[in-house]
Homo-oligomer: A and B are copies of this chain.
Amino acid sequence: MARTIGSHSGKTGPRVRDAAMHLFAQRGFAAVSMRQIASEVGVQVGALYNYFPDKQTLLFELMRDHMLELLSAIHDKPETTPSSRLEVFVRFHITFHHKRPDAVFIAYMELRNLSPQNFEEIEALRRRYETVLEDILRAGLEANEFQVADTKITTLAIIAMLTGVSSWFRSKGRLSIADIKNQYWEMVQKSVCPKY
């Protein structure tokens, strides 16, 4: 939309981030120009540089904020049973990612467009998240509630499976997100169960 000249009460920053998030998710970081972002927001390209020093930093901040939100939203309760902790994790992961399809897509697809230093920072956050799940699996292993050959591999396998939901789930589809959560929880539960 065309805008008139002048200040607009400090709302441009969030609007730029929203527009960038959406465009990056849809077309990819490298394929989106600063002019396209500006046009989506309704400002000229020069105005964008009031909110970040360059395009790389914009990408980094979107990814970092997403990971920090993820980490601050997961609340594992080590005092409960491993099986219950695992169920909470599975349902949380699907819910959280389902609400932020653009951010999820960017976090998984644009890692290679980060500068080496920014990449390291995002990777560290991702590893922290994986550790939450791995701790649950280890606790279940020690309590003989789970049977897994290798907690690290199982962690990566479960996260890959759960995150995959974002790539195909459409809310107009045959199944509700509640159905999906139930089914994924059943699959995960069985996959870590001791063989009978």
Which residues of A are at the interface with B, using a C-beta cutoff of 8 A?
Answer: 26-31, 109, 112-113, 148-150, 153-154, 156-161, 163-164, 167-168, 175, 179-180, 182-184, 186-188, 190-193, 195-196
Whether B182 pairs with A190 at a CB distance below 8 angstroms is: no
Q: Tell me if A113 and B28 are in contact (CB < 8 A).
A: yes
Nearest opposing residue in chain B for A182, CB measure: B149
Closest to A187 in B: B191
**Chain A interface, DSSP helix/strand/loop, else mixed:** helix
Given contacts A148-B187, A149-B183, A153-B184, 4 further A-B contacts (CB under 8 A): A28-B112, A160-B167, A187-B191, A190-B192
Q: How far is the CA of A154 from the CA of B180 in the complex (A)?
A: 10
In the bound complex, what is the Cα–Cα distance between A159 and B160 (angstroms)?
Answer: 9
Q: Do the beta carbons of B113 and A31 come within 8 Å of each other?
A: yes
CB-CB nearest in chain B for A163: B160
Minimum Cβ distance to chain B for residue A106 (Å): 12
Known contacts A31-B30, A190-B191, A195-B190; A180/B164 CB under 8 A: no
- Cβ-defined partner of A190 (8 Å) among B109, B179, B193: B193
Q: A158 — nearest CB in chain B belongs to which residue? A: B161
- Bound-state CA distance A65–B188 (Å) is 34
